[in-house]
């Protein structure tokens, strides 16, 4: 039986199944933190004879899309016990989640795929990449030390430090296209469940906070940068001075989450720096109409009418022809009679429209790659929006 659950006994079974499926060995403290976190999210299970056999959890987030805050369900802990596989329970769970999200008007969903092909069946597509950057210690010492200002190492239990870091995130990483509007419960979970995470805040000479770093010391080999935020060049230089000050203890300095790879321009010799781009999370538009009506188009007093066809085999409410009326940067979106097929300007799957509106590909690139079908190009639709490259600094 598919159900949405909140009782502690189900949360404990969800943790048990997730631990089995992902071969996780949590401490008692981590288990307690996990269970507390799940009290704040949406838990869906398939129950057979009182036992959870399959599950999906949904994190009710908000995200920033092209300058506009939208609702997003972050999918995680997709798991089934081996003996229950092949029953179609995961599809039934996704159907239940999508139906609930449709009723609530939630615009988007993200997930981390174990298989991109598998999740495309549910309408998801590649949206986010991340850069893995490895800097050897002989290169990190090229950073010219910033001697003014100060760095303060802090613990997450420090309430003043918490508020400082949250505010810095809201001003910087949290404004980036695709990023999370982080809830307090999520901050607490990330910085307590993941043991070994350390924090430091950068201040200028006026004692104003201008950046923070979340980092880890991995054995005797790696200094790991999990997250770095800065409001100006001084904040960046001060944080990188702090990082390079560890050159006597670590052979390599690693990041998978720098907000801007142009940081590498601070170095005079970069040939030994290794940089790899990896595919990361997928996403899908869950409610096309609501998404479009919140989306920020470029402001123009001239009214533009565009007809888009959306093909979505999972969420039937998205499947069809939509009339977009765009004026002064905002759109109304109306689903019209499918007999008006001759009016369609562009046609594409929900996956491709998600990639276009989230900035994974430009509209022109999508046309060139034949990701969408241009049936009638007598519009200036491509000039009405240009979202920046999507960035995500969280994993769930």
Give one DSSP letter per residue of 340-384, joined into a string. GGGG-SEEEEHHHHHHHHHTSS-HHHHHHTTSSEES---S-GGGS
Could you read off the pLDDT of 270-324 as tens digits, one per residue? Answer: 999 999 999 999 999 999 999 999 999 999 888 999 999 999 999 999 999 999 9
Distance CA 258, CA 261 (A): 6
Average pLDDT rounded to a whole number, residues 213-219: 94
Nearest to 275, CA basis, from 255, 302, 295, 303: 255
Considering the chain, what is the average pLDDT of its residues?
95
Q: Which domains does the chain have, with CATH numbers?
A: 2-106 (3.40.630.30), 131-278 (3.40.630.30), 288-383 (3.30.1050.10)
- Is the per-residue pLDDT at 210 higher than 90? yes
Nearest to 318, CA basis, from 283, 353, 355: 353
- Is the per-residue pLDDT at 237 higher than 80? yes
Nearest to 19, CA basis, from 36, 34, 40, 4: 34
Element (H, E) at 208: none
- Is the per-residue pLDDT at 379 higher than 90? no
pLDDT score recorded for residue 341: 85
pLDDT score recorded for residue 378: 72
pLDDT score recorded for residue 300: 83
Could you read off the pLDDT of 62-82 as tens digits, one per residue? Answer: 999 999 999 999 999 999 999
Instruction: Name the percent of the chain lying above pLDDT 90.
Output: 90
- Is the per-residue pLDDT at 7 higher than 80? yes
> Could you tell me how far CA 227 lies from the centroid of its own chain?
14
Distance CA 388, CA 112 (A): 21
Q: Distances from the Cα of 248 to the Cαs of 140, 197, 221, 222, 251, in angstroms?
A: 11, 20, 11, 12, 8
Could you read off the pLDDT of 115-129 as tens digits, one per residue? Answer: 999 999 999 999 999
pLDDT score recorded for residue 1: 93
- Is the per-residue pLDDT at 167 higher than 90? yes
Give, rounded to a whole angstrom, the gap between the first and last alpha carbons of the chain: 25
Q: For residue 184, name the pLDDT band (cuts at 50, 70, 90).
A: very high
pLDDT score recorded for residue 39: 94
Q: For residue 97, name the pLDDT band (cuts at 50, 70, 90).
A: very high
Average pLDDT rounded to a whole number, residues 11-31: 94
Least confident window among 129-133, 180-184, 301-305: 301-305
Count of Cβ atoms closer than 10 Å to residue 217 Cβ: 14
Both tokens of 314, joined, read 């999972």
Count of Cβ atoms closer than 10 Å to residue 389 Cβ: 12
Q: Determine the angle formed by the axes of helices 28-38 and 8-21, rounding to 10 degrees.
A: 120
Q: Distances from the Cα of 371 to the Cαs of 179, 348, 366, 367, in angstroms?
A: 25, 7, 5, 6
- Is the per-residue pLDDT at 145 higher than 80? yes
pLDDT score recorded for residue 195: 87
Contact, 293 vs 142, CB < 8 A?
no
Reported pTM? 0.94
């Amino acid at each position: 039986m598919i159900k949405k659950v909140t009782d502690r006994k189900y949360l404990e079974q969800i943790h048990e199944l997730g631990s089995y499926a992902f071969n996780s060995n949590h401490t008692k403290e981590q288990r307690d933190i996990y269970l507390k976190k799940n009290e704040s999210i949406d838990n869906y299970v398939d129950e057979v004879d009182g036992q959870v056999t399959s599950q999906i959890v949904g994190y009710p987030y908000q995200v920033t899309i092209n300058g506009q805050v939208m609702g997003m369900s972050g999918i995680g802990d997709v798991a089934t016990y081996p003996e229950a596989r092949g029953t179609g329970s995961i599809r039934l769970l996704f159907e239940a989640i999508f139906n609930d999200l449709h009723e609530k008007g939630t615009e988007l969903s993200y997930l981390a795929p174990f298989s991109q092909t598998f999740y495309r069946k549910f309408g998801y597509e590649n949206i986010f990449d991340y850069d893995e950057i490895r800097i050897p210690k002989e290169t990190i010492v090229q950073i010219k030390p910033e001697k003014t200002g100060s760095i303060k190492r802090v613990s997450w239990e420090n309430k003043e430090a918490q508020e400082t870091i949250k505010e810095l995130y809201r001003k910087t990483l949290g404004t980036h296209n695709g990023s999370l509007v982080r809830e307090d419960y999520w901050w607490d979970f990330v910085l307590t469940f993941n043991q070994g995470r350390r924090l430091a805040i950068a201040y200028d000479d006026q004692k104003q906070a201008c950046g923070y770093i979340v980092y880890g010391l991995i054995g005797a080999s790696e200094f790991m940068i999990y997250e770095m935020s800065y409001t100006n060049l001084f904040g960046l230089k001060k944080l990188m001075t702090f990082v390079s000050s560890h050159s006597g203890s670590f052979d390599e300095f690693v990041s998978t989450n720098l907000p801007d790879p142009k940081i590498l321009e601070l170095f005079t010799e970069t040939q030994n720096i290794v940089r790899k781009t990896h595919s990361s999370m997928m996403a899908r538009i869950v409610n096309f109409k609501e998404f479009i009506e919140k989306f920020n188009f470029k402001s123009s007093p001239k009214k533009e009418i565009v007809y888009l066809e959306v093909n979505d085999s999972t969420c039937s409410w998205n499947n069809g022809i939509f009339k977009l009326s765009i004026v002064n940067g905002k759109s109304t979106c109306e689903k019209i009679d499918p007999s008006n097929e001759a009016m369609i300007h562009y046609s594409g799957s929900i996956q491709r429209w998600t990639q276009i509106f989230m900035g994974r590909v430009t509209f022109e690139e999508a046309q060139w790659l034949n990701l969408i079908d241009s049936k009638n190009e007598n519009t200036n639709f491509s000039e009405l929006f240009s979202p920046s490259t999507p960035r995500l600094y969280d994993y769930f």
